[in-house]
Structure 1
């Protein structure tokens, strides 16, 4: 690797990882010059590859990156996957193979916090590790060089710990990332992972739910929202619903909300066969449970958005349809405007249950694509198709 230029190849899985890379690639050359070495001009090259999102075995990904790196003649290569990587049951955040100048980042391990800056910092740290090596001497050299930089240029990067993947704020205090130099593997020289089982599960679950983008599923609820709101709006004109909302306690209302949301979630899982079953999957038990938990919480989040939208619509409908005088005459002279809130709340819960039992989501592909198992099956099929094309 000689000459005035260094090229960093960024390989991403399709979808969200690609979006992150697109948002970062413009600023990376300048940051690499500051954080790694400013005597070289840094170039960024990007590539989408299904394998980085098709397996949860980091060594398989590392091996596949070797051929991609050679084909593109990159000096450094960083792959970014949205698949969780595990060492036993502990979450792997990132790894680097110094000799080949190859590194790998697992997005779920970074958690549900805003990812753009954390992915940026991870790329900078991994390239720095490969450039100066992960040894004590290499880390000391990297730190000494950074301390000589003008602090006004980039105070955030100048004060970085040379052994830390990302900053230590909020999320990382609850579930700290540990740096280790493994000796039991051929292709990994430095690894960043979470050493606690709880911290690993928490990071992976929240990170995978974020990667599923539950808000993107909202467009699939149009038909259900229409049915639920139409049914609930019709029920609003009858005093029975008004009286029920006046009699229910807060705890009963909360229980009704939880039941209605869970009914919708489990109906979607059942109707679209989203649950990974032990008999039909080759995944390890803890991986299967992690995928199923992610599916559940992704749908739970999406249905909560749906529930809040319905509640907003019913709140306007209640004010529009029910005069206060009529409400007082039918229920009690003591009721006030707060009862509008309770009526809308009751109508939302009942309508959600009806919507869950009586309709189908409009775009099944959006729902399926928000689950890890389905996305992996798609990528396996894509990888298989590409291999067949190469053979032919």
Structure 2
């Protein structure tokens, strides 16, 4: 077949040019700290998981004002404003705010018409926040884009383990202002436990070890004194395992109680309403668990260091002569336990030198620290 000249028709063998893929942008708005890390992790892997005939771009915007508002409806409005400013197609906000509605933890709220949604990270629990966040975002993307099957539980949200630990349910929300079209919630009891673990994870209790510098310095200094005191060696050697455990737990409890009392970390109710009572209980429980884990990590780390120092600096014959019987490795553990326990108790006194702001910064994540600061100002 001969080629056409100037008739505007295709030449022989010429193929149709492929249509360029539609460009779609998803914006992720986050609080600083853990939500930002989660969002940046998802930004790298979401495009391939979102895969359809369109080409997806994911952008991250760290905005404490948007993500740190006090309710999901306010966050959705602020998310919509940011979507319009940045000319995104869809926007999802990650917040550290623990959200509850009708006694149930809220995993996510979405406004389908406005193409915006908000995810409460603490409600996803204290383990695997990256994987669970990806599951929720993919589900929300189906909802916001109107993709077929968007109303179904997919991407692992309906897995057998999730159904056992803390089931996630989809609800249609019909509020007066029309901000929330779709809501994902957890169950009352199991969902609260997962929410609590997520709040503790958000606080990152392991940071407490180096955040309380004065308490750590007092604990280390007292441990060094205990290492040089033969009386401490003998006391530790005479106590049985049960008393040693009780003393260790007691020293951790003393430091935790001192931190709460000295720096006003115990939150008080503002009203007698059941909602306020439940909220205060939730925040206080997360505070106690955060401090217990943080101080426990401090105790364990100090104990390991003290065992190594004792093995290095205390000869077996010196320890045997002081105790009056042969000294094996378990005696070194007992020795280290004695001055570690004493050091942690001294750390309670050292924590008094910390400022309230320093303790809040060490004990809480960004969002909770901000909330406590605002509450104190009020």
TM-score when normalising by structure 2: 0.83
**Partners of 1:220 and 1:362 within 8 A in 2:** no
State how far apart, in whole Å, the 1-side matches of 2:252 and 2:373 are: 29
Task: Specify the alignment match of 1:271 in structure 2.
Answer: 262
State how far apart, in whole Å, the 2-side matches of 1:171 and 1:264 are: 36
Correspondence 1:70 to 2:62: no
Query: Which structure is larger by alpha-carbon Rg, 1 or 2?
Result: 2
Task: Give runs of aligned pairs for residues 116-127 of structure 1, distance below 5 A.
Answer: 116-127=130-141
Structure 1 pair 345/170, CA: closer, same or farther in 2 (3 Å)?
Answer: farther
Correspondence 1:41 to 2:55: yes
Task: Give runs of aligned pairs for residues 310-321 of structure 1, distance below 5 A.
Answer: 310-321=302-313
Task: Specify the alignment match of 2:104 in structure 1.
Answer: 90
Where 1:328 maps in the other structure, the secondary structure is helix
Task: Specify the alignment match of 1:22 in structure 2.
Answer: 40
Task: Specify the alignment match of 1:152 in structure 2.
Answer: none
Task: Give runs of aligned pairs for residues 237-276 of structure 1, distance below 5 A.
Answer: 237-276=228-267
Correspondence 1:228 to 2:219: yes
**Partners of 1:5 and 1:42 within 8 A in 2:** yes
RMSD: 2.8
> Residue deviations 1:72-105, cap 9 Å, x none?
2322111111101101221111122212111111
114-123 or 326-335, which deviates more: 326-335
Q: Which runs of 5+ in 1 are unaligned?
A: 144-160, 382-392
46-55 or 18-27, which deviates more: 46-55
Question: How far apart are 1:317 and its partner, in Å?
Answer: 2.5
Task: Specify the alignment match of 2:8 in structure 1.
Answer: none
Correspondence 1:129 to 2:138: no
308-317 or 255-264, which deviates more: 308-317
Task: Specify the alignment match of 1:390 in structure 2.
Answer: none
Alignment length, in residue pairs?
Answer: 351
Structure 1 pair 173/366, CA: closer, same or farther in 2 (3 Å)?
Answer: farther
> Residue deviations 1:6-36, cap 9 Å, x none?
2212111222211221222122222212xxx
Task: Give runs of aligned pairs for residues 160-309 of structure 1, distance below 5 A.
Answer: 162-163=153-154, 166=157, 168=159, 170=161, 173-184=164-175, 186-196=178-188, 198-279=189-270, 284-309=276-301
Of 100, 111, 128, 1:114 maps to 128
TM-score when normalising by structure 1: 0.80
Of 354, 370, 374, 1:375 maps to 370
**Partners of 2:222 and 2:339 within 8 A in 1:** no
Q: Which runs of 5+ in 2 are unaligned?
A: 1-20
> Residue deviations 1:37-72, cap 9 Å, x none?
x22111223222334443342222222222222222
Structure 1 pair 14/230, CA: closer, same or farther in 2 (3 Å)?
Answer: closer
Where 1:26 maps in the other structure, the secondary structure is helix
Correspondence 1:351 to 2:343: yes
> Residue deviations 1:255-275, cap 9 Å, x none?
111110111112122222222
State how far apart, in whole Å, the 1-side matches of 2:163 and 2:322 are: 55
Structure 1 pair 257/281, CA: closer, same or farther in 2 (3 Å)?
Answer: farther
State how far apart, in whole Å, the 1-side matches of 2:100 and 2:60 are: 26
**Partners of 1:14 and 1:48 within 8 A in 2:** yes
State how far apart, in whole Å, the 2-side matches of 1:78 and 1:209 are: 23
Structure 1 pair 359/73, CA: closer, same or farther in 2 (3 Å)?
Answer: closer
Question: How far apart are 1:111 and its partner, in Å?
Answer: 0.3
168-177 or 89-98, which deviates more: 168-177
Structure 1 pair 212/222, CA: closer, same or farther in 2 (3 Å)?
Answer: same
State how far apart, in whole Å, the 2-side matches of 1:91 and 1:165 are: 19
State how far apart, in whole Å, the 1-side matches of 2:354 and 2:245 are: 28
Where 1:284 maps in the other structure, the secondary structure is helix
